[in-house]
Amino acid sequence: MILLRRLLGDVLRRQRQRQGRTLREVSSSARVSLGYLSEVERGQKEASSELLSAICDALDLRMSELLREVSDELALAELAQSAASDTVPSLGVPPGRSLGERPMLNPVRVTSVTHRPDEHVTIKAPTEAVDVVAA
């Protein structure tokens, strides 16, 4: 099962570490306890939108950027999960949307998935390979 709180925590931790900042610095700036921020980063606590906003402000990060990165990681996790069942789900147009709003992609049969520690995932279909790289 893919946990959103875990993905959010991973992205927040990575952003903090990219800036070379400590948990103590960010927790103080966000006005949240160090222990609670640590639990959010480890995916043990579900952060409210208010708390996420405070953490994003402390990291000088737009919430839309945070959510975009989480969305990308979620898509990768879903692809990896789907690969375990040997098919990739269709990313077609949801009910109530027009075709112009979202491109229609055909499902492919996955023959193998390779995951490397540098977060580079290669998904090979019978006729082509698709590389997906987490930002």
Residues 6+ apart with CB under 8 A from 22: none
Which tens digit of pLDDT belongs to each residue from 106-115?
A: 444 444 455 4
- For residue 43, the model assigns a pLDDT of 94
- Token pair belonging to 5: 């709180």
pTM: 0.63
Rounded-to-integer distance, Cα 78 and Cα 71, Å: 10
Distances, alpha carbon 55 to alpha carbons 16, 47, 104, in Å: 10, 10, 36
Res. 135: pLDDT tops 70: no
Averaged pLDDT of the chain = 78
